[in-house]
Every structure is written in C-alpha cells, then in structure tokens.
Structure 1
C-alpha cells in the first residue's frame, strides 16, 4: 500500500531518523523523500512517499506509531493512503 507522510514542526535533530526508524520497524519502505527548513523560525517540513507492508504492520498500526513519535518530537505527523490523497486533490 502506497502512503504519503507529512511531518511539520520546529526543526530539531533526529526527526528523519526517528520517523525512518518507525517505518523500518513496521516493514515500510521509503520510496521518495523531500525535506526543507522554512523561514527564520526554522520550521521543518518533510514529505515522504512510502510503501507499507501490510502483512507486517497495517495502516492503523503505522499511523498510531507515527503519531506517538510525532508527539514525542513535538511535531505533527500525518499519514494518508495515496489513493485518498490523490482523490482529495483532483479537480
């Protein structure tokens, strides 16, 4: 299952490692990643396209683990199934 993950919050060390560790533990693969630091406030933004191995961890499990990790980092972490993401932005 393909998913889009968005991460947003104040820049700090270890964000990419923490998110990547959760994904690896869940058997997911990072297919593409983009990240940037925005403005003087040092706002961190990252978007990832990932492939979930639902036999290892289903969508809800991955979502719960990413949410918990985001909370521990003080960051917002959202995951959406690619088909839902695409449908939301079609005209």
Structure 2
C-alpha cells in the first residue's frame, strides 16, 4: 500500500533512533530520543486552492522537520509522517 500526499504535503519515513550513544552506552526504549530526521518518500502535486505552490522537496531527500508537526501513520508495519512542506526546516546535504 502507498500513500499519495495531496497539495503541498509530503510523506516522510522516520529514521530509527540510535540504540547507543557516541561513547558506547546502550539506551533503553524509554531513553532513546525521538529523531526529527526523515527521508522523503512521496511529494504532493503542489496545487493548493487552485494555485501552484513550488515543491522544493524531492523523493529521497533527507530532511529535518518540526518536532510536533504532521500526522503519524503506521502502514504495513512501517511508520510515516505526513506533513506540509512548510513544516520541513531543512534538507541534509
């Protein structure tokens, strides 16, 4: 099953949280920090209220997004987040 975003929305696949720190300490489930990094897996058409919005993101881009933005969706045992392009704060180069 696939998700096709509408308008100026994008679908991101969350990146897994690190299981150990840089110094080698293994983190339990509760101690893991939820990452705000993700990969773009789908991009909307860019049409909002009959006007075209330039979509600056492409499938495959690695991005950073606002912490509380979007809607989390679990589909086929994978977690995705659907959010507006404006909630993406940067692309990782």
Q: TM-score, normalised by structure 2?
A: 0.30
- Quick one: higher RCO (CA 8 Å, sep 6+), 1 or 2? 1
Q: TM-score, normalised by structure 1?
A: 0.31
